[in-house]
Chains A and B, each alone.
Chain A
């Protein structure tokens, strides 16, 4: 059971492939990392895995999650969570409602749902802040809340698109440790793209460098 990329390559409508075909196998609880300079196609790779490949790009190779081929699955059915450098909490919802947005509908009843959200808030060190407007949170708080929202949806894999790059250097290590601990505890494969060597080192999983591969 794992996230497997096999000979994955992304080609713009007119032009050369963004990178040479790449293969990567990430097991449960592992955090793989893809490094590379800006413009190497890291974010486009994650978009392809999540199912949001922009118009004008084509994907070749195989993306498999837990044995199921993902290439043509609708993004909302892939059960692949994604976290961006902007936490992208929805501005019209309170912090608690943002987390409830991730919670599956199978958890029924206001009491049960509130309890699940409260638990996630506590795990993120945000106890008692559920009613807050997300815009009033600090960068670190937003990042922790966004990760919790992704995990509440019970994804089968999670993708991290330079999630720490906008945080203060002082905060970065702490948030990274928080995120990686929670992902490992969820026992799902994760893939981070980054240009920060420290991220890749902390991930400790399979590793690829796009820039070097593409020459």
Chain B
């Protein structure tokens, strides 16, 4: 019998593998970073504990400003995208939600760096918006305005909002299926409440507990983002995460100590931010009923929701323009000011870039496919053997800690294992961030599959593996393809894991795009970011097509297409 392996042993084995693959690097990374933060780094002949690194950190020029910039951009981007996503959800659920959620796919697929470069193209003093305004305002040359890299972090906040709003919108649309939305809206409307008031008083309070974990993920991401902050943020002083990353990469190795202290500080700040978000949610849940009890029908809320949803739709259009501008610049030969479209087009940029960036393209594809394949295997093994649902926060863990807080420590661990700077190390680091998204994408379809299919197969003599291989995996082809596409998108977008674990030796389209973003050659930047966005787009397209072809004669499975 193939099933002779006891269920318990199998479950324990998967748990051990997952712990070694996912939690050990994070724990070891945090440990090494924390030691270095306290002045203990034997490799540099330093032994602690000492508060020297912390003092050095605070002595960094502009550190206080950097911290403030981080908090302001991180929190405002999170709250704005949450508000936009909620207002958009209120309108979309009133109409054709399925079509709109399909239109969001490019926004989810596009890597942060590519979106940031595209937004810079559109927002820059010589960008599309200025070109459109030029004839009206009589600008003979691009205006002298800091529309990107501004000191207030406005461009960075905008970039984060454009990228995170569609993600939160999809999270909200998924969560709403757990609430009797229609019935609650009808009931509240029959009591005299308009749509905006219904959402604020009835829907959002029920929605919050379902979405606060993903909102925390967005908040932590926004507080610790590097690539977008390098492209759209101010450079002096930058955000805290960028400042710390610069210190880690400083040729003066002694900078590693204060950098580690900064990494730990950012980690603590992230933990405090999550606590604040959680506490704030509870406080509002306590105080909200006092407001609701007064029975105001809130006619103003309708205006508020329309205005916010229009703003959200406007920002999505801006994001779409940003994506188009990447491709357009990649094909541009001449595009003089203030023309709205290039004067002449050419494939010259593509021809020269394909040679220069071929290795980066190969690395990107290899890392994405390998980390996604490993993550799918691990996720399937986990879903097949672990049945407790209490592990949700544990699965989210890599997304709830700022990457910079443990990635350098993970690098130190790999250095000790002799695997530092290899492509394997980069794949491993990507796996940490691909796996949680894989679980998010697969858990519900997996748990929702009618268990009688596997039982029917078992009663026909199929062993555990054959039930999985011949019955469950084919039935779940659509969500698996969708999960693979998400995994590829997550991997392609990774910047810091590639930079740190690759020790600067493994170049991907993402690291190249970030380097190129500050260059003046928009054509080459356009080519590289188009390629960078093209990989996840192709993955999403395949994820849409493959189940359609595989299930073309299986009408019962067609409706399941995501």
From residue B228, how far is it (CB to closest CB) to chain A in Å?
35
Query: Is B377 in the interface zone, CB < 8 Å from A?
Result: no
Residue of A with least CB distance to B299:
A76
Q: A173: which B residues are within 8 A, CB to CB?
A: none
Q: B193: which A residues are within 8 A, CB to CB?
A: 76
* Bitwise interface map of A from 143 to 154 toward B, beta carbon under 8 Å scored 1, else 0: 000000110010
Contact call B294/A97, Cβ cutoff below 8 A: no
Contact of A105 among B96, B189, B295 (CB under 8 A): B295
Instruction: Report the separation of the CA atoms of residues A77 and B206 in the bound assembly, to the nearest whole angstrom.
Output: 25
Contact call B190/A75, Cβ cutoff below 8 A: yes
Contact of A101 among B185, B191, B194 (CB under 8 A): B191
Instruction: Report the separation of the CA atoms of residues A78 and B193 in the bound assembly, to the nearest whole angstrom.
Output: 11
Known A92-B206, A100-B293: A81·B184 in contact at CB below 8 Å: no
Instruction: Report the separation of the CA atoms of residues A94 and B286 in the bound assembly, to the nearest whole angstrom.
Output: 12
Contact call B295/A51, Cβ cutoff below 8 A: no
* Bitwise interface map of A from 140 to 171 toward B, beta carbon under 8 Å scored 1, else 0: 00000000011001010001000000000000
* Bitwise interface map of A from 77 to 101 toward B, beta carbon under 8 Å scored 1, else 0: 1111110101010111110010011
Instruction: Report the separation of the CA atoms of residues A155 and B96 in the bound assembly, to the nearest whole angstrom.
Output: 31
Contact call B294/A105, Cβ cutoff below 8 A: yes
| Chain B interface helix/strand/loop/mixed | helix
Query: Is A47 in the interface zone, CB < 8 Å from B?
Result: yes
Contact of A107 among B183, B205, B295 (CB under 8 A): B295
Number of interface residues of B (CB under 8 A): 29
Contact call A97/B292, Cβ cutoff below 8 A: yes
Instruction: Report the separation of the CA atoms of residues A153 and B191 in the bound assembly, to the nearest whole angstrom.
Output: 6
Contact of B295 among A75, A84, A94, A101 (CB under 8 A): A101
Residue of A with least CB distance to B202:
A90
Number of interface residues of A (CB under 8 A): 37
Query: Is B296 in the interface zone, CB < 8 Å from A?
Result: yes
Residue of B with least CB distance to A89:
B187
Number of cross-chain contacts by CB at 8 Å? 88
Query: Is A138 in the interface zone, CB < 8 Å from B?
Result: no
Contact call A153/B192, Cβ cutoff below 8 A: yes
Instruction: Report the separation of the CA atoms of residues A144 and B255 in the bound assembly, to the nearest whole angstrom.
Output: 69
Contact call B289/A155, Cβ cutoff below 8 A: no
Instruction: Report the separation of the CA atoms of residues A85 and B330 in the bound assembly, to the nearest whole angstrom.
Output: 59
From residue A78, how far is it (CB to closest CB) to chain B in Å?
8
Q: B522: which A residues are within 8 A, CB to CB?
A: none
Query: Is A113 in the interface zone, CB < 8 Å from B?
Result: yes
Contact call B186/A52, Cβ cutoff below 8 A: yes
Query: Is A61 in the interface zone, CB < 8 Å from B?
Result: no
Residue of A with least CB distance to B285:
A92
Interface residue ranges of B81-103 to A (CB < 8 Å): 95-96
Query: Is B451 in the interface zone, CB < 8 Å from A?
Result: no
Query: Is A50 in the interface zone, CB < 8 Å from B?
Result: yes
Known A97-B293, A104-B192, A113-B294: A84·B206 in contact at CB below 8 Å: no
Q: A92: which B residues are within 8 A, CB to CB?
A: 202, 205-206, 285
Contact call B95/A113, Cβ cutoff below 8 A: no
Contact call B184/A88, Cβ cutoff below 8 A: yes
Contact call B191/A100, Cβ cutoff below 8 A: no
Residue of B with least CB distance to A117:
B293
Q: A52: which B residues are within 8 A, CB to CB?
A: 182, 185-186, 189
Q: B551: which A residues are within 8 A, CB to CB?
A: none
Contact call B190/A104, Cβ cutoff below 8 A: no
Query: Is A14 in the interface zone, CB < 8 Å from B?
Result: no
Query: Is A103 in the interface zone, CB < 8 Å from B?
Result: yes
Interface residue ranges of B200-226 to A (CB < 8 Å): 201-202, 205-206
Instruction: Report the separation of the CA atoms of residues A172 and B403 in the bound assembly, to the nearest whole angstrom.
Output: 59
Contact call A50/B186, Cβ cutoff below 8 A: yes
Query: Is A38 in the interface zone, CB < 8 Å from B?
Result: no
Residue of B with least CB distance to A92:
B205
Contact of A79 among B95, B186, B192 (CB under 8 A): B192
From residue B430, how far is it (CB to closest CB) to chain A in Å?
39
Query: Is A206 in the interface zone, CB < 8 Å from B?
Result: no
From residue A111, how far is it (CB to closest CB) to chain B in Å?
12
Residue of A with least CB distance to B186:
A52
Instruction: Report the separation of the CA atoms of residues A77 and B285 in the bound assembly, to the nearest whole angstrom.
Output: 28
Interface residue ranges of B261-309 to A (CB < 8 Å): 285, 289, 292-297
Query: Is A55 in the interface zone, CB < 8 Å from B?
Result: yes
Query: Is A122 in the interface zone, CB < 8 Å from B?
Result: no
Interface residue ranges of B213-269 to A (CB < 8 Å): none
Query: Is B180 in the interface zone, CB < 8 Å from A?
Result: yes
Query: Is A123 in the interface zone, CB < 8 Å from B?
Result: no
From residue B196, how far is it (CB to closest CB) to chain A in Å?
10
Contact call B295/A155, Cβ cutoff below 8 A: no
Residue of B with least CB distance to A154:
B192
Contact call B289/A102, Cβ cutoff below 8 A: no
Contact call B187/A82, Cβ cutoff below 8 A: yes
Instruction: Report the separation of the CA atoms of residues A149 and B190 in the bound assembly, to the nearest whole angstrom.
Output: 11
Contact call B95/A55, Cβ cutoff below 8 A: yes
Query: Can you list 7 A-B pairs with a CB-CB distance of less than 8 A?
Result: A51-B189, A81-B190, A84-B186, A93-B292, A101-B201, A105-B296, A113-B295
8 nearest CB pairs, A to B = A75-B189, A92-B205, A82-B190, A105-B295, A153-B191, A100-B293, A105-B296, A76-B189
Taking Cβ atoms with an 8 Å cutoff, the residues of B that contact A are 95-96, 180, 182-195, 201-202, 205-206, 285, 289, 292-297
Q: Given known contacts A76-B194, A100-B295, A150-B190, what 4 new A-B pairs fall within 8 Å (CB)?
A: A84-B183, A90-B188, A92-B206, A107-B295
